Every structure is written in C-alpha cells, then in structure tokens.
Structure 1
Amino acid sequence: MPIPLAVGDATEVRAYLIGAAAAGHSLTYSELLERLGYSFSRPKMRALCVTLGVVDRDGATRDEPELAVLVVRQSDGLPGQGWWVAGGARDHGYEGPWEGPAAAAFIARLQQVAFDYWATHSP
C-alpha cells in the first residue's frame, strides 16, 4: 500500500491551527482542508492527517501542546479514528471509548490545554 502524501505545508497547517487555538475553537477536517484550498474527500482527509502528525511531532520538540486534537469531525466534534489509533489517547493515558460523553470530556480537556497555551504565546 502506498504511503499517503501530506496535504498542505506543515508550517501553513500549524499556522491555521495556532490561530484556531488562540481563538479558542476547533476546526473540522472540511474547514481546514478548505483553508488549504482543497475540497473534502476521505483521501485528502487521510493525507491531512499525515501533515497533522508532522505538526505535532515538531511542536513536541518545542514543548508545545498538540494541535491535531483541534481537528475534528463535523458530526460529533471529536477527532477521527486516525488520531485515536496513532496514539493520541494512549499518549495521555486515556483508555476509554472514542465516542460519547467520556471521549468528548477527554478531548475538551486536551483542546483547552492548547487554547490556554496559544492564548498567551506567539508562534
């Protein structure tokens, strides 16, 4: 199976996510893809996830909170399966469900960390 190509430049994606974090809100996959000049498709969404991984690995080297957790499904406001499978939850010690109230509370806590951080820091 071929490795999916990243969608968007990691620097550009990071800038959009920092802007969203500083404003205190998440972005849907569709919204972020649109800002990058793409229409939503599952292959584009999966490719975007590659870029999100790059953004978070780079941010971790600067002790910044993760930003990929801000990119969510329109249907329920939670990150997609790729985030959960890639270790997003495990990295924070969460072993609960990927959907529902417990997942929403967990994601809200992680997002708040990013909101608080970027409200007081500049890139």
Structure 2
Amino acid sequence: MSDERAGLLADPAEVRAILVASARAGEAISYSQVLELLGHHFTRPKMRALCKVLAFVDDEAEERGEPELAVLVVRQSDGLPGQGWWIGGAKKHGYSGGWEGPKAAKLIRNIQRRAFEFWAGREP
C-alpha cells in the first residue's frame, strides 16, 4: 500500500468494486450500506473515514477517464450525498446552489446517470 493510501478505512479497490457494482445496477448506495459491505457499523467517524476513501477512488477514476463514483454514495434520509461530496464535487460541476432540494437532486441525478450509463454492461 502506498504512503498516501496508508490509514484509509478500506482498500480503495474494494470500495471501487462496490461502487462499480452499484453503478452497473443503476442504483445509488447509502453510506451505511457501503460501510456494512466493508464490515463496519455506521458511525459518523466511520462515515468521514469512508469519505476519504471515496475521494481517493474518484481521483483514480478521473486519471482513468472514468466518471466519478462517490456521488453514488448517499444519505438514506434524502438520497443525496453528504457535505463532503458537496464541498468538492459541486464546485467541479460549477454548482453553487443549496445541498438539498430539487436543484440539488437534479444535479445529483444527472451526475449519477453518467456513471450508470458508463458502467451499464461494462466489465470493471
């Protein structure tokens, strides 16, 4: 494991595999579902640690020319990504609106659709 990956909650390749499976299924996945698949119970510190792995996964996806995947990980309450995604992800897409509500949901659906379409029928 490289120095920059040391201390991550989970192996980015394992998290990527979970997210690619979610994208291939055309479905978002909750933070608690991802943590459970990784063998953890949901806690806020674990969720924050997962966000670090998600950022790493997205950086690698960008290097490969693949769509981002962290946007697929959402809150159970409203189906939108948490604050960590909005701080960096929204800026990348030129979005400066609220993190909740119809405009936010529309942005997320559009970005998620790119991942769904890219991974539909494609092998990881």
TM over 0.5: yes
Equivalent residues of 1:28, 1:72 under 8 A apart: yes
What are the ranges of 5 or more consecutive residues in structure 2 without an aligned counterpart?
Answer: 1-6
Question: Cα offset for 1:120?
Answer: 3.7
* Off by >3 Å, runs of 4+ in structure 1: none
> Which amino acid in 2 is paired with 1:115?
F
Cα RMSD for the two superposed structures: 0.8
Q: What is residue 92 of structure 2 aligned with on the other side?
A: 91
Gaps in structure 1 of 5+ consecutive residues: none
Q: CA offset at residue 65 of structure 1? A: 0.2
What is the TM-score normalised by the length of structure 2? 0.93
- Percent of pairs with identical residues: 58
The Cα of 1:6 is off from its aligned counterpart by 2.1
| Aligned equivalent of 1:101 | 102
Whole-angstrom CA distance in 2 between matches of 1:63 and 1:29:
25
Q: Which residue of 2 aligns with 1:38?
A: 40
2:19 aligns with one of 17, 20, 23: 17
**Which residue identity lines up with residue 78 of structure 1 in the other structure?**
L
Q: Do the aligned partners of 1:6 and 1:49 also contact (CA within 8 Å) in 2?
A: no
Alpha-carbon separation, structure 1, partners of 2:16 and 2:57:
6
1:105: Cα distance to partner?
Answer: 0.5
Q: Which residue number corresponds to residue 118 of structure 2? A: 117
Count of aligned pairs between the two proteins: 118
Q: Given the two structures, how large is their TM-score scaled by the length of structure 1?
A: 0.93
Distance in 2 (alpha carbons) for counterparts of 1:43 and 1:6: 12
